[in-house]
Structure 1
Amino acid sequence: MKLVEPPSCSSPSTVVFIGRNHRGQWVAQQQNGLYGGLFVNRAQAIKYALFENGQHPETIIELPREIELDMGRKPDAAAPKRAA
């Protein structure tokens, strides 16, 4: 019998990062930069992330550091860079 991982585990492109930017606004950004937005509160950022990623809460990662919305990023730029 072949074991198959659920789509949320095998498709890293569905990961959505949420967190606050330097102005305190909430940001939701898909890992590869395909979609994202600014929100007034955490609940709205999560609601958006769930809508965009097909209702997979396990693929939403809340970042403890600042995250800036970057809609000019190319899709192959992947995840936000870590601070040194």
Structure 2
Amino acid sequence: MKLVEPPSCSSPSTIVFIGRNHRGQWVAQEQNGLYGGLFVSRAQAVKYALFENGQHPETIVELPREIELDMGKSPSSNSVRRAA
């Protein structure tokens, strides 16, 4: 039997933000920048977030404002960067 790699998050209480960036792409990003990605649909962003956070839909927050994927920040910095 082949083992599947566990999700990247360290705890089930990890918040994952999803929303659209300025180009209309869907963004999913963990609040501390530990993982994230760009997606063509909301469904794919949610699917990714659920996989990464251990299947905890209650920890996914869909933002009504634009968000930008920022994979360059350190885990200790603030949450997802807000678009101006």
Normalization by structure 2: what TM-score? 0.81
Q: Structure 1: how far apart are the matches of 2:49 and 2:82?
A: 21
- Percent identity, aligned pairs only, is 80
Say which SS state the counterpart of residue 76 (structure 1) adopts.
Answer: coil
CA RMSD of aligned residues (A): 1.7
Q: CA 1:70 to 1:82, structure 2 compared with 1: closer, same or farther past 3 Å?
A: closer
1:14-50 CA-partner distances (Å, limit 9, x unpaired):
1000000000000000000000000000000000000
Segments of 5+ residues of structure 1 without an aligned counterpart are 1-6
CA radius of gyration, larger in: 1
* Contiguous gaps of at least 5 residues in structure 2: 1-10
Q: Kindly indicate which of the two structures has a greater share of residues assigned to helix.
A: 1
CA distance in 2, matches of 1:83, 1:40: 19
